[in-house]
Amino acid sequence: MLDVAALREEPWPEHDWEALATRAADAAIAQSPYGEWRDWPSVIEIAVRLTSDDEVRTLNRQYRQKDKPTNVLSFPMVQPDLLEAVAQNSDDGEVILGDIVLAHGICAAEAAERGVSVEDHAAHLIVHGVLHLLGYDHIEDAAAEGMEDMERAALASLGLHDPYSVRED
């Protein structure tokens, strides 16, 4: 079972962010090798924080030594090599997968640039963030392609656009 909590802070507008975050997280997990987790009795917990660019900049500087805001940060609570067995071996039936933080200004600017709603772009960033919580990254080209394929499939299942349809060679 998936349990997603969303915390909205200013300047994010009022919206049912928890429902959006839950749908996006579920779609991401469904497209990953961990899709079966959705049917397990263990509770997989994800926290999503919607905050300001300044807050994300502070977190990015503190945890990644990058003194600039970014669209999404992911803070996994489970080491990638332990993901295979974590849901089956939980002592209390709960697994805290991790936290995802989105920066409003950057998300809104990217959404406008792409011609999509802030909500749709936030859903994409949450899908992206969940895949990071599951150990995926986009540092190497082959890994990036695999991650993008899962993102595309998750977004398609939500009826959302393909954010990678235009590529620069």
Q: Binding site residues for Zn(2+), as ranges?
A: 128, 132, 138
The band of 74, judged by pLDDT with boundaries at 50, 70 and 90, is very high
For residue 42, the tally of other CB atoms under 10 A from its CB is 16
Across 33-43, average pLDDT: 87
pLDDT digits (tens, 9 = 90+) for 96-150: 999 999 999 999 999 999 999 999 999 999 999 999 999 998 877 777 788 999 9
Q: Binding site residues, as ranges?
A: 128, 132, 138
At 31, phi and psi to the nearest 5? Answer: -90, 0
- Percentage of residues of the chain with pLDDT beyond 90: 73
106 SS3 class: helix
Q: Angle at the Cα of 118 (from 116 to 122), degrees rounded to 5?
A: 105
pLDDT digits (tens, 9 = 90+) for 48-71: 999 999 999 999 999 999 999 999
- The per-residue pLDDT for 38 is 87
* Average pLDDT across the chain, whole number: 91
CATH of domain 2-158: 3.40.390.30
The band of 89, judged by pLDDT with boundaries at 50, 70 and 90, is low
